């Protein structure tokens, strides 16, 4: 085995050691209690506060908010469900009375994730409403909001939305460590020098 191959092996060993000492990637799932947010009664608005500390050295890189088998209880046109990302909602599920209508209760309280209307209504269609926060460009905001261990969502149904449960799926990756990257860079440079000196 040549010196270069040996050094290459050593570099992998260093990288593996750094990775082992640092953070891991992870997949996490969160569900409110009650899981269907009390069936999203149109008379109310709802908040869901999640208490969670992103593991040290990790950052959220993907997040999906899913409302399973959502359906409006009847056929109607004015049936918006407004969903917002919130910074510091009260932990757990809470609701307040805003009656049906009156627009988006959470307007100006964190970014609007989406406005949903059931194009059919009256019966279940096994349709899962999925908001991909990465596609919406909201990952930096999610990380900022979660940094104090509390973040969540606001829902204002202006119609009655039955569903089989709300879930937040989160994926984390290790935060790149500048010191480790510099270390690897120096090691890489040393390898390059060895190669060139032949
Ligand atoms: Ca409303
Ligand atoms: Ca409708
Ligand atoms: Ca927060
Ligand atoms: Ca409402």
- In this structure, the answer to whether residues 183 and 133 fall within a common structural domain is no
Q: What's the confidence (pLDDT) of residue 10?
A: 58
Which structure tokens are listed for 60?
Answer: 């959220």
- In this structure, the answer to whether residues 107 and 183 fall within a common structural domain is no
- In this structure, the answer to whether residues 131 and 165 fall within a common structural domain is yes
- In this structure, the answer to whether residues 187 and 131 fall within a common structural domain is no
The per-residue DSSP string of 5-34 comes to HHHHHHHHHHHHHHHHHS---EEEEE--SS
Q: What spacing in Å lies between the alpha carbon of 142 and ligand 3's midpoint?
A: 9
Q: What spacing in Å lies between the alpha carbon of 92 and ligand 3's midpoint?
A: 14
Q: What spacing in Å lies between the alpha carbon of 46 and ligand 4's midpoint?
A: 8
Q: What spacing in Å lies between the alpha carbon of 146 and ligand 3's midpoint?
A: 5
The per-residue DSSP string of 98-110 comes to --S-SS-TTTTSS
Q: What spacing in Å lies between the alpha carbon of 120 and ligand 1's midpoint?
A: 20
Contact indicator for 153, 87 with CB cutoff of 8 Å: no
Give the residue numbers spanning the domain of 198: 1-22+177-198
Grouping H, G, I as helix, E, B as strand and the rest as coil, residue 43 is coil
User: Which residues have C-beta under 5 Å from ligand 3, the single-atom ion?
Assistant: 87-88, 145, 148, 150-151
Q: What's the confidence (pLDDT) of residue 129?
A: 98
Cα–Cα distance list, 24 to 14, 110, 185 (Å) = 16, 29, 21
The CATH number linked to 112 is 2.60.120
Q: What's the confidence (pLDDT) of residue 177?
A: 74
- In this structure, the answer to whether residues 53 and 95 fall within a common structural domain is yes
- In this structure, the answer to whether residues 130 and 197 fall within a common structural domain is no
Contact indicator for 164, 36 with CB cutoff of 8 Å: yes
C-alpha 178: how far from its chain's center? 25
Could you read off the pLDDT tens digit of each residue along the chain, which spans 198 residues? 455 555 556 555 555 545 555 568 999 999 999 999 999 999 999 999 999 999 999 999 999 999 999 999 999 988 999 999 999 999 999 999 998 778 999 999 999 999 999 999 999 999 999 999 999 999 999 999 999 999 999 999 999 999 999 999 999 999 987 766 566 666 666 666 666 665
- In this structure, the answer to whether residues 134 and 181 fall within a common structural domain is no
Which structure tokens are listed for 114?
Answer: 């989406």
Q: What's the confidence (pLDDT) of residue 110?
A: 97
Q: What spacing in Å lies between the alpha carbon of 154 and ligand 4's midpoint?
A: 11
- In this structure, the answer to whether residues 77 and 65 fall within a common structural domain is yes
Q: What's the confidence (pLDDT) of residue 1?
A: 46
Q: What spacing in Å lies between the alpha carbon of 147 and ligand 2's midpoint?
A: 37
Q: Using the 8-state DSSP alphabet, how is residue 42 labeled? A: T
Q: What's the confidence (pLDDT) of residue 101?
A: 77
Q: What spacing in Å lies between the alpha carbon of 22 and ligand 3's midpoint?
A: 25
- In this structure, the answer to whether residues 158 and 187 fall within a common structural domain is no
Q: What spacing in Å lies between the alpha carbon of 115 and ligand 2's midpoint?
A: 12
- In this structure, the answer to whether residues 16 and 28 fall within a common structural domain is no
Grouping H, G, I as helix, E, B as strand and the rest as coil, residue 68 is strand
In total, how many domains does the chain have? 2
- In this structure, the answer to whether residues 90 and 152 fall within a common structural domain is yes
Q: What spacing in Å lies between the alpha carbon of 126 and ligand 1's midpoint?
A: 25
């Amino acid at each position: 085995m040549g010196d270069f191959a040996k050094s290459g092996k050593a570099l992998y060993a260093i990288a593996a050691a750094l990775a082992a000492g640092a953070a891991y990637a992870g997949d996490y799932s969160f569900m409110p209690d009650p899981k269907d947010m009390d069936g999203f009664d149109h008379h109310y608005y709802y908040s869901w506060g999640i208490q969670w500390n992103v593991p040290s050295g990790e950052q959220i890189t993907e997040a999906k908010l899913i409302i399973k088998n959502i359906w409006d209880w009847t056929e109607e046109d004015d049936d918006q469900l407004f969903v917002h990302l919130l910074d510091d909602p009260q932990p757990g599920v809470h609701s307040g009375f805003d009656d049906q209508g009156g627009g988006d209760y959470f307007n100006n309280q964190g970014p609007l994730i989406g406005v949903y209307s059931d194009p059919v209504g009256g019966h279940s269609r096994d349709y899962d409403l999925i908001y991909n926060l990465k596609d919406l460009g909201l990952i930096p905001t999610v990380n900022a909001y979660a940094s104090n261990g509390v973040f969540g969502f606001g829902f204002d149904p202006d119609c009655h939305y039955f569903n089989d449960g709300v879930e937040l799926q989160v994926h984390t990756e290790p935060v790149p460590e500048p010191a480790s990257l510099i270390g690897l860079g120096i090691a890489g440079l040393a390898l390059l020098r060895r190669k060139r000196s032949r």
